[in-house]
Chains A and B, each alone.
Chain A
């Protein structure tokens, strides 16, 4: 079946540090891959996505590349800010059909200290 595994948190970094949050997936075919973010007290927001192999999604300085050979979609940012403190979720939608239900990782909490 389809599943997503992401690194457990919490992750604590100092401002301007480099961030990597690992995400790997199991799925048939060519799923679409997503990173969603949940800031404290707010709802889920799409951060970035990639819909085919070797695509790179990017937004707000964050990047992730769809690697089919390693079934990975790791999230990176070169220099984190305090405002990036949030919970980050990796997710996929299965390949094919109109049902694009999201299959989620467990989330990684990030705290950035000044």
Chain B
């Protein structure tokens, strides 16, 4: 079956513009996570979805960041008024709590965001 997919793979934008990053999790996976990988900060948790709700948004760095998930499937991470410090690789992962390997998260290839 298909793995986690993300689009676009690369995004270059100008400071101040809004961007949307998309994640398609593995079919049937109810849990979805966004992480950010940057040179200065390593890997950081951003937000967790269980179904369409987000019980943990504690990793979102500012109110310019938001995310939603619809139909228990696709998720979109939106960054408004992008800043240069937002440049990073944004990673999405999904898992299926309750099955044999509930802790295993499967990662997408990431979206590399560059803010000029």
Contact = CB atoms under 8 A, between A and B. Distances in A.
Contact of A32 (B33, B97, B103): B103
Given A32-B103, A43-B108, 11 more contacts: A43-B110, A44-B93, A49-B103, A98-B50, A99-B50, A99-B56, A100-B97, A100-B105, A101-B45, A101-B59, A106-B42
Nearest to A104: B43
Contacts of B56: 99, 101
18 contacts: A43-B91, A43-B108, A44-B93, A44-B107, A46-B105, A89-B43, A98-B50, A98-B97, A99-B55, A100-B31, A100-B102, A100-B103, A100-B105, A101-B56, A101-B59, A102-B35, A106-B42, A107-B43
A51 B101 CA distance: 10
A93 interface: yes
Interface residues of B, number: 25
B16 to A, nearest CB: 30
Interface residues on A, range: 20 to 34
A103 interface: yes
Contacts, number: 53
Interface of B: 31, 33, 35, 42-45, 48, 50, 55-56, 59, 91, 93, 95, 97, 102-110
Nearest to A50: B103
Chain B binding surface, main DSSP class: strand
Nearest to A41: B109
Contacts of B103: 32, 34, 49, 51, 93, 100
Nearest to B6: A43
B22 to A, nearest CB: 16
Contact of A49 (B45, B59, B91, B104): B104
A12 interface: no
Given A93-B103, A98-B31, A104 B95 contact: no
